Amino acid sequence: GPVVACACFIPPAAAADFTDVNDSKKLTEKKREELFKRLQTSDAAFGVG
């Protein structure tokens, strides 16, 4: 199937907000959506390609 690549930089000051992420394949859809909202409101930088 298609390949999607992404990268994310989470500054040390924001890292505590993402300690519950260990294996993206084990995240539920709801949890992924919650994490995406947190990423959007944090100082994290991300890109998808």
**In the chain, what are the domain boundaries?**
6-48
pLDDT given at position 20? 82
Query: Residue 3 pLDDT more than 90?
Result: yes
Average pLDDT over residues 2-31: 89
In terms of pTM, does the model score above 0.85? no
Query: Residue 36 pLDDT more than 90?
Result: no
pLDDT given at position 28? 93
Integer distance in angstroms from the first to the last C-alpha of the chain? 15
Q: Do 42 and 8 touch, CB atoms closer than 8 A?
A: no
- What's the CA gap between 5 and 42, in Å, rounded? 21
